[in-house]
Amino acid sequence: MTEKIDLSWDEKVEKAKEAIKASFWGDFLFGGLVVSGIFIFIESLELPSLVNCSIGILIFIFGLSLILSRLIYFRIKTYQIEKIIKKAEIYQSEKDYKKSLELLNKELEDTRNLKIKEIWNNKAIALYYLTRYEEAYESFNYALEIDPFYKFAILGKGAALYKLKRFEEALKSYDKALTIDQNYKEAWLNKGYVLHDLKRYKEALESYDKALDIDRSYKEAWLNKGYVLHDLKRYQEALESYNKALAIDQNYKKAWFNKGCLFKDLKEYQNALESYDKALAIDQNYKEVWINKGNLLQDLKKYQEALECYDKVLVIDQNFKEAWYNKACIGSLYNNKDKALEYLKKAINFDNKYKKQANEDPDFNNIKDSREFKELTKD
The CATH number given to whatever domain includes residue 228 is 1.25.40.10
**Per-residue tens of pLDDT for the chain, all 379 residues:** 333 334 444 444 444 444 444 444 444 444 444 445 444 444 444 545 544 455 545 554 555 555 555 554 445 455 567 788 888 889 888 999 999 999 998 888 876 777 889 999 999 999 999 999 999 999 999 999 999 999 999 999 999 999 999 999 999 999 999 999 999 999 999 999 999 999 999 999 999 999 999 999 999 999 999 999 999 999 999 999 999 999 999 999 999 999 999 999 999 999 999 999 999 999 999 999 999 999 999 999 999 999 999 999 999 999 999 999 999 999 999 999 999 999 999 999 999 999 999 999 999 999 999 999 999 999 8
How many residues appear in the chain?
A: 379
Query: Is residue 207 in some structural domain?
Result: yes
How many domains, in total, are found in the chain?
Answer: 2
Of 90, 141, 151, 93, nearest in space to 120 by CA: 141
Boundary-marking domain end, from 249, 281, 300: 249
Query: Is residue 377 in some structural domain?
Result: yes
Q: In whole angstroms, what is the distance from residue 24 CA to residue 27 CA?
A: 5
Query: Is residue 55 in some structural domain?
Result: no
CB-based burial, 79-115: b 16+ in 10 Å, e otherwise: eeeeebbeebeebbeeebbeebbebbeebbeeeebbb
pTM of the entire predicted model: 0.78
Query: Is residue 238 in some structural domain?
Result: yes
Q: In whole angstroms, what is the distance from residue 376 CA to residue 338 CA?
A: 12
DSSP state of 110: S
Query: Is residue 49 in some structural domain?
Result: no
Query: Is residue 297 in some structural domain?
Result: no
Hey, what's the torsion of the CAs at 107, 108, 111, 117, to 10 degrees? 100
Q: In whole angstroms, what is the distance from residue 153 CA to residue 141 CA?
A: 8
Q: In whole angstroms, what is the distance from residue 352 CA to residue 357 CA?
A: 9
Other beta carbons less than 10 A from residue 359's beta carbon: 14
Query: Is residue 242 in some structural domain?
Result: yes
Boundary-marking domain end, from 228, 249, 270: 249
Boundary-marking domain end, from 195, 220, 249: 249
**Identity of residue 177:** A
Range of the domain at 340: 331-379
Q: In whole angstroms, what is the distance from residue 78 CA to residue 81 CA?
A: 5
Q: In whole angstroms, what is the distance from residue 247 CA to residue 241 CA?
A: 10
Query: Is residue 203 in some structural domain?
Result: yes
